Chain A
Amino acid sequence: RKEVEQDPGPFNVPEGATVAFNCTYSNSASQSFFWYRQDCRKEPKLLMSVYSSGNEDGRFTAQLNRASQYISLLIRDSKLSDSATYLCVVNDGTGGGADGLTFGKGTHLIIQP
């Protein structure tokens, strides 16, 4: 069974701080990786894709370590509006089967004023 594991948190972080969380995945054939953000009682929304070379989008940086099969998300200068659950998402890498993407259960982040 393909697994994506995340620390559920919550991570309580003061506003302006830097926070990082990781996830690990079990399927070495996975080729596409994503971070999604989900606000309370809302749908998940794509935050960013994760590329092998690492990528940055404003205050957010994503890293991929294929050898160790983990993905990280770094948030700098955190804002109150960053409070949400962050889902790590990995594709199954086969192009077939019952599921294209496997979702982690999410890490809950709370930014405190």
Chain B
Amino acid sequence: DAGITQSPRHKVTETGTPVTLRCHQTENHRYMYWYRQDPGHGLRLIHYSYGVKDTDKGEVSDGYSVSRSKTEDFLLTLESATSSQTSVYFCAISGGRGYQGYTFGSGTRLTVV
């Protein structure tokens, strides 16, 4: 399997607190993505990165920021967590944007109380 890990696997946090999720890859892939998955909505893109320090917004980026200071790490920050951000967050990597499919991490289950 591709080397992609997400941390933490589970997190419970309080409304209004900042939260950072980490995605780490050992495949040296250029593209990295953050998705959230909710019942009835499927996978929705939050942000993506096409290189170190190169990021762009996805479909549901409000309330989220990202950073990529190294090829291997892509961080997702919830600036001030809200209950609507309770979700499962998946990171994905790809060597070629959209043409090779993505490999997903195991996900982070986030609960905002």
Contact = CB atoms under 8 A, between A and B. Distances in A.
B88 to A, nearest CB: 8
Contacts of B98: 32, 91-92, 95, 99-101
B106 to A, nearest CB: 5
Interface in A17-49: 31-32, 34, 36, 42-46, 49
A31 B52 CA distance: 27
B58 A98 contact: yes
Interface centre among B45, B94, B100, B101 (most CB of A within 10 A): B101
B74 interface: no
Contacts of B29: none
A101 B99 CA distance: 8
Q: How large is the interface on A (under 10, 10 to 19, 20 to 34, 35 or more residues)?
A: 20 to 34
B103 interface: yes
Contact of A34 (B90, B97, B101, B105): B101
B24 to A, nearest CB: 15
Interface centre among A36, A42, A101 (most CB of B within 10 A): A101
Interface in A83-102: 87, 89, 91-92, 95, 98-101
Nearest to B100: A32
Interface in B71-113: 90, 94, 97-107
A99 B48 contact: yes
A72 B56 CA distance: 32
B43 A44 contact: yes
Nearest to B42: A105
B84 to A, nearest CB: 19
B56 A101 contact: no
Contact of B42 (A31, A43, A104): A104
Given A31-B99, A43-B90, A49-B101, A99 B45 contact: yes
Interface of A: 31-32, 34, 36, 42-46, 49, 87, 89, 91-92, 95, 98-101, 103-106
22 contacts: A31-B99, A32-B100, A36-B101, A43-B105, A44-B104, A46-B102, A87-B42, A98-B45, A98-B57, A98-B59, A99-B59, A99-B98, A100-B31, A100-B94, A100-B97, A100-B98, A100-B99, A100-B102, A101-B98, A103-B42, A103-B43, A104-B42
